[in-house]
Amino acid sequence: MKELKLLKYTTIVFMLFIFFWASFGGYILGTQRSNEIETAKETQRYEMLDYEAELEDAEILGKFWNKKGYYIVVYDKTTKAPELFKVEFSEWKRMSIGETY
């Protein structure tokens, strides 16, 4: 009989613990993690803005492909000379002659 009373009380305490953890504990831990993720995303966004600002001084003169890969010919206004860049097919497909690279 004593074992059944002990089992009953421990079950009640366990259920209360689960109820309070589901109500409050998960909320507290969940807010801390989302804040860290947002901070990391903002940092990555600012880094990408810096990279985009550096690539505005070139114009695509042409594009071609061979068995070694996909290439674009870019005229760089700072060096005043054409340059050859190897790119992936997905990028190569989206690029057009005359666009800013």
Residues 45 and 87 in one domain: no
Question: What global pTM score does this model have?
Answer: 0.43
Specify the pLDDT at position 22.
75
Domain extent, residue 38, equals 1-54
Whose CA is closest to 85, among 60, 53, 67?
60
pLDDT of residue 11: 95
Dump pLDDT digits (tens) for 11-50: 999 999 888 877 776 666 665 555 555 666 666 665 655 5
**Residue 100 placed within a domain:** no
Q: Same domain, yes or no, for 38 and 62? A: no
| 44 falls within a domain | yes
